């Protein structure tokens, strides 16, 4: 029984490490894309915030929410890239710390999760709150003919 619990515990620990490496991979490739293809990704942010590509038949009921300032678009785009970079780095650090602690006692492994928890929390803030709540719902990104992500 002790051996079975040990194997399950190791599998769970490795699963947590793999989740963080997956998050780091996604966030890292997104940062890479945002930096190397800056113009098209910036256009996405700009058009979503401007709300200028929704179909005309939907009317103008929520257009008051639009932000048309290019300065704000650039600030938002840079903030997104910096936040994605932070997610990448904290996920990598968390995975590294957890990998180092994988054979240690439960408390040591638990303590090694700090950066991973920060990364996953930031993931939820960016991809669920910023992109789903703010971009998709507040700015009506889902209504866009072109930029509906």
Among 69-73, 99-103, 138-142, name the one with the lowest average pLDDT: 138-142
Report pLDDT digits (tens) over 77-90.
999 999 999 999 99
pLDDT for res 128: 96
Q: Which residue has the tokens 């910023």?
A: 130
Q: Which of the residue ranges 77-81, 94-98, 142-146 would you say has the lowest mean pLDDT? A: 142-146
Phi-psi category of residue 51: left, alpha or beta, with phi > 0 → left and psi -120 to 50 → alpha: left
pLDDT of residue 4: 61
Split at pLDDT 50, 70, 90, the class of 133 is very high
Q: Tens digit of pLDDT for each residue in 11-42? A: 999 999 999 999 999 999 999 999 999 999 99
* Maximum alpha-carbon separation in the chain: 66
Burial tier of 133 (Cβ tally within 10 Å: 0-12, 13-18, 19+): exposed
Confirm if 91 and 24 have CB atoms less than 8 A apart: yes
* Residue 122 pLDDT exceeds 60: yes
DSSP secondary structure string, 12-28? HHHHHHHHHHHHHHHHH
Beta-strand (E) ranges in 6-120?
none
Residue 57: per-residue pLDDT: 74
Read off the pLDDT of residues 45-77 as tens digits, 9 standing for 90 and up: 999 999 998 877 777 888 899 999 999 999 999
Mean predicted confidence (pLDDT) in 114-127: 98
Cα 59 from Cα 36, distance rounded (Å): 36
pLDDT at residue 5 tops 80: no
Name the one residue in this structure whose structure tokens are 């190397």.
Answer: 36
Compute the residue count for the chain: 149
Name the region of 140 (left: φ>0; alpha: ψ -120 to 50; beta: rest): left
Sign of CA dihedral 58, 62, 64, 70: negative
């Amino acid at each position: 029984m002790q051996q079975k619990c040990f194997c399950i515990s190791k599998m769970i620990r490795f699963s947590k490490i793999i989740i963080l490496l997956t998050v780091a991979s996604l966030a890292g490739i997104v940062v890479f894309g945002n930096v190397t293809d800056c113009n098209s990704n910036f256009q996405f942010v700009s058009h979503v915030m401007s709300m200028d590509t929704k179909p005309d038949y939907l009317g103008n009921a929520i257009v008051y929410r639009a932000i048309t300032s290019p300065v704000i678009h650039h600030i938002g785009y840079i903030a997104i890239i910096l936040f994605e970079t932070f997610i990448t780095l904290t996920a990598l650090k968390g995975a590294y710390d957890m990998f180092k602690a994988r054979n240690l006692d439960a408390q040591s492994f638990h303590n090694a999760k700090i950066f991973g928890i920060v990364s996953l929390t930031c993931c939820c803030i960016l991809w669920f709150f910023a992109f789903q709540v703010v971009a998709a719902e507040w700015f009506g990104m889902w209504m866009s003919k072109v930029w509906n992500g």
